[in-house]
Structure formats: structure tokens, C-alpha cells
Amino acid sequence: MKINIFKKTLVIPVLLLLSCASSLKFPQVDFREKESDWRSFRGSSYYSGSKEYELTLPLKLIWKEKIGASYSTPLVVDKMVIIGSLDSKIAFLNFNSGENLGSYSLSYPLSITPCVEDSILYYSGKKGNTVFFALNLKTETPIWEKELQDISSSPVVYKDKLLVGTEKGELLCLDKENGKQLWRYKTDGLICSTPVFNEENLYFGSADRNIYCLESDSGNLIWRYTTNGAIYASPCMDDKALYTGSLDGNFYVLELSTGKLLWKFKTEGSIRSSAVLNEEMVFFGSNDGIFYALSTKNGELIWSFKTDGPVLSSPLLAGDKIFFGSLDGNFYGLRVADGEMVFKYKTGGMIYASPSFSRGRILIASTDKYIYSFGSK
């Protein structure tokens, strides 16, 4: 069933204000989850960061829209794009045209990526004793709100749980329906890393230099592995191994069941970029300005690509091509097989954000205050 998600007026708490109420033009949106949607930082609770879709070259700019400087990954729900900005807003755009459909005003800049489950948007709305909201986009009202300490990781939903990290080093597990705390796990450092799940466990990193594996139902520790630097990147995984980088410049691959080190690879800069992988290679960027493709089997360097700035952007794998941004302001597309550049677009700012993908379109935000949509037609 398709539902008109917003009316012309809105009544919600003072921390969440609707701007431009007289000019809202929200689309008819089908909130049932579809394969084409991109509803969280890395696209799904498994954090694949990839889509099985072969893009036809050449790519071209379909549209761009001014929304404010952003570090966030654009979310896609049916025909609507949702993105947070450093201008203290959450913007809603038409996926096809980029038309600005309206925005919510927040009380502080939003640098983390919200997430959407069904018709519920999960995000933090106030700095300090953060008010975390679960907003029903159909009815324009929160289903719950909860005061938490400073939120520092992008939220993610898995089954009936909502997971979010804090600056005080706590990973909080909440009931997604009512915000009730189910469990919490305390680390000794800031948590920017958003967890990845399998059927039984979850995995994440902390600024205390550790990579953790917890039982998802109880929050009990199963194993942890200590690196030589803070972990800001979110991990990715296959059925045997966990993959993530550290600020010590190493990229680590651990056995999923035990946390045993399988191999590591040294770069010349800290690693904040969250990796993506296919069956043979794992891909990530480093602050040394290089984008890497390594063998998943043994960590051998397959190819590398040099940019003119640090690569904090987490890559998008779309079929036989991979896309990412750099602080040099460019958005790059490379061929997976050999790292040959097949696409490059210069924005007017730096790209901290990570791209998303839906229905043949790639979306990326820049600090030049624009969000861009690229496609082959």
C-alpha cells in the first residue's frame, strides 16, 4: 500500500521542527522494504556496501541539489532520499529529480547517518544528553524518544534490536519498538564503528584499540582482539572472516569464530574507511591517499590507486565497478579487476561521506553543500 507520508502541517516536540511547511511536496512512498532501498550507513545490517548491478558507462550527472555540507550517506526509501547535514537538518528529496521536498530542523549538526526500518526513521536530535528519536514518517510523530549520552555511531537495526554507540564507549542495544534498553556493553573508548551482524553475534570496533565480538541477544563478550590504534571503521565480513582497518595504519582480518589474526596489511596512513568485499578481494581507502584492493585469501596487494587526498569515504561496490570519494574533492569510479579509473567527478568541496546506490543511481554528498546523483541515463 502506498501512503502519503506527510501533510502540510506537523505537530512534534520542540527539538524537531519542520521547515518550509507551506511548500512541502512529499511523494507517495511505499515503505515496504525493497531490494533497491538503501536504509542504513552501509545499506543493510550485514554492511555489505555493495549491490549486484552492472552500471553502463559512461556515467553522467543526473542532478545535484543544495542541502548543506554533509558527512552522511544518503538513504533511499522507495522514491525518496533522506540525508542529514552539518547545517542541522534532515533533508528529503525526490529520488528521480532531486527536488527538495522539505526538511526537519535539528538543534545541532548531524554528522552520523540515520537509519530507516519500515516507516520508522531513527536518529539523534540534540547534543549533550542526546535525545534519540524513533520517528514514524507516516504519522509525522515520534513513536518513542529517549535521552542518551552523546551518540557517536550510525544506528543500525537488526531484527527487533536497535544498536548505537556513544562517546563514553557504550554500545547500547535497545528495543526498536519502544526504546527500552535490552543490554549495554562498556568499552574504554569512543565507539564510531557501527556493528555488523550474523545470526548469533555482532562485531564492532572501539577507540580503545579493540575489535569486539558479542553475543547479539545478551551482549556477552565472546572474544576481542587488540590492535595498536583506535578503530573508527565499521567492519565487514564473509562467512569465515571479519575485515576492518585501524588508526595504526593496519588492515586486519580475523577469524570470525575465534578472533584469531589471519593476516594484516600495513598502509602509510590511518584507516577510517569501512571496507567492502567480493569473493576474491577486499577494498578500502587510507589516509595515505591510496585506495587498496587486497586478496581476501592472504592479504596480497592486487592493485592500488593514488588520489590527491586522504580517503575516509567507505566504498560502494556495484557489480564490476567500485566508487568512493576523497578529500581531494573527487568522486572516483574504478574497475574492480585492475583498478583502472573509469569515472571521475570533481565536486566543490571535500568528500568525507560514503556513497549509496539504488536503481542504477549512485548518490554522494560533499562539503560543498551539494548532494549528487549519477547514472547512465
pLDDT at 142: 86
The torsion angle over the Cα atoms of residues 23, 88, 365 and 293, rounded to 10 degrees, is: -150
Mean of the pLDDT values across residues 107-131? 83
**Does the pLDDT value for residue 116 go beyond 70?**
yes
Q: Which letter, b or e, does each residue of 9-36 get, where b requires 16 or more Cβ atoms within 10 Å of its Cβ?
A: eeebeebbebeeeeebebbebbbeeeeb
The three three-digit cell numbers of residue 218, written as one number:
545478551
Report the range of poorest mean pLDDT among 73-82, 123-132, 155-164, 221-230: 123-132
Q: How far apart are CA 114 and CA 122, in angstroms?
A: 6
Q: Which residue has the higher pLDDT, 274 or 131?
A: 274
Q: Where do the structural domains in the chain lie, given as residue ranges? A: 3-370
Mean of the pLDDT values across residues 180-194? 97
**Does the pLDDT value for residue 328 go beyond 50?**
yes
The three three-digit cell numbers of residue 99, written as one number:
527536488
Q: Which residue has the higher pLDDT, 275 or 11?
A: 275
Report the range of poorest mean pLDDT among 4-13, 209-218, 302-311: 4-13
**Does the pLDDT value for residue 127 go beyond 70?**
no
Find all residues with CB under 8 Å of 51, minimum gap 6, and list them.
43, 316, 317, 318, 319, 357
Over the stretch 339-374, which tens digit does the pLDDT of each residue have?
999 999 999 999 999 999 999 999 999 999 999 999
Mean of the pLDDT values across residues 306-319? 96
pLDDT at 48: 65
Q: Which amino acid is at 87?
A: D
pLDDT tier at 282 (50, 70, 90 boundaries)? very high
What does the mean pLDDT of the chain come to?
A: 89
Q: How far apart are CA 214 and CA 309, in angstroms?
A: 35
Q: How far apart are CA 339 and CA 95, in angstroms?
A: 29
Q: Which residue has the higher pLDDT, 142 or 203?
A: 203
pLDDT at 238: 93
pLDDT at 16: 42
pLDDT at 19: 41
The residue written with cell numbers 506527510 in the block is 6
**Does the pLDDT value for residue 4 go beyond 50?**
no
Q: How far apart are CA 361 and CA 16, in angstroms?
A: 30
On whether the CB atoms of residues 149 and 190 are closer than 8 A, the answer is no
**Does the pLDDT value for residue 20 go beyond 80?**
no
Question: 3-state secondary structure string, 265-312?
Answer: EECCCCCCCCCEECCCEEEEECCCCEEEEEECCCCCEEEEEECCCCCC
Using alpha carbons, select from 281, 322, 303 the residue that is nearest to residue 49.
322
On whether the CB atoms of residues 94 and 101 are closer than 8 A, the answer is yes
The CATH architecture that domain 3-370 belongs to is 7 Propeller (2.130)
pLDDT at 124: 83
Over the stretch 70-99, which tens digit does the pLDDT of each residue have?
999 999 999 999 999 999 999 999 999 999
Q: Which letter, b or e, does each residue of 99-131 get, where b requires 16 or more Cβ atoms within 10 Å of its Cβ?
A: ebbbbbebeebbbbbbbbbebbbbbbbbeeebb
Q: How far apart are CA 84 and CA 69, in angstroms?
A: 9
